[in-house]
Homo-oligomer: A and B are copies of this chain.
Amino acid sequence: MNEDLVDRLRLLRTAGIGPVTFRQLLRRFGTAAAAIEAVPDLARRGGGKAPRLFERGEAEREIARVEKLGARYLTLGQGLYPRLLAALEDAPPLLIAKGNLNLLDRTAIAIVGARNASAAACRFARGLAHDLGQQDLVVVSGLARGVDSAAHDGALESGTIGVIAGGIDVFYPPENEARQRAMYERGLVLAEMPPGTEPRARHFPYRNRIIAGVSAGTIVVEAAPRSGSLITARLAAEAGRDVMAVPGSPLDPRAQGCNQLIRDGATLIQNAEDVVEELGPVGRVRSSVIPYRPEPELVNGDDNAVDLVEELLGPSPVPVDEVIRLSGASSGAVQMALLELDLAGRLDRHAGGKVSLRPA
């Protein structure tokens, strides 16, 4: 049994420890084992009681189950873990993967869109995915109905990755079971949640960040305003990736999301050549480059750091950078205080690096 994996899993599956907190604990304590030992004391300093840690036995059972499913873990920052995904501040600390892991070595491009897309849009997505496959690109999508399914189908021969919101062994929607099984064999399926997890609404935005994160760019095909596909596009843009959209007639309500994306700066694409042109030579090699991000060293602040930071926070999310600036303390000390409040169950972390105090 891989002891480090057991420790990482114990930490990650502990309630209240999300990807950002996990990453900061590893940064501060070097190993998951050391972090586990430190958690109770940190939570106490944050003014709460220690979270109940995921038991060793539970972790071992999950690992055994993943192995039995023919799947394996990918560990952030190690081995085959997708390097573009690792660049996200909230990258999943562990992913569960089943299928052809070699696909992780090629540049990936996401194709996403409406579940209730028109037949024409699905046909377009399938053809586009096929043509991008001919350009040696791996097509990523979410194994949903509609555009996602069409994109996977078009790229099944050349290489496709499906990122699912539930467990690696859960088929959702049920009619996609055959497609997902085919991708275990000839493509690759990735899941963040433990095996057996039925996907819930809140899981889908997490799934979407992985789709955007593993891909050099995201293409949206027919999306309604305020749909999940547009969330994926926004996450891709925030991660500095290319966002592309397929236009449609203003008379077609299903084209509004994509047309608005283009108005907001996404590149209009009509075919695979347009996509390759947009990605450019940089895009083709980008998967081997991790953007540089300085990682502040977390330091033990003086005893007043938690009180100071707590006083600056309220129920409205504010950027961590602003908290640091207002506190007058060092970045490392503030991050440490936030970590302590977090582990004490007194902090909420939000998109865009914002934090708020959890209402009592």
Contacts and interface: CB of A to CB of B under 8 A. Distances in A.
By secondary structure, the A interface counts as: mixed
Nearest to A271: B250
Q: Which size bracket describes the interface of A in this complex?
A: 20 to 34
A124 interface: yes
Contact of A249 (B255, B256, B260, B274): B255
Interface stretch (A139-147, A261-269, A288-296, A305-313): A261-269
Given A247-B250, A249-B248, A263 B259 contact: no
A263 B267 CA distance: 7
In this complex, which of A255, A259, A270 has the most chain B Cβ atoms within 10 angstroms of its Cβ?
Answer: A270
A256 B271 CA distance: 11
A281 to B, nearest CB: 19
Contacts of A124: 249-251
Interface in A119-139: 120, 123-124
A86 interface: no
A227 B271 CA distance: 21
In this complex, which of A248, A249, A260, A271 has the most chain B Cβ atoms within 10 angstroms of its Cβ?
Answer: A249
Contacts of A247: 247-250, 255, 259, 262, 268
Contacts of A252: 249
The 8 closest A-B pairs by CB, nearest first: A247-B247, A250-B270, A262-B268, A248-B249, A263-B268, A259-B270, A120-B251, A247-B259
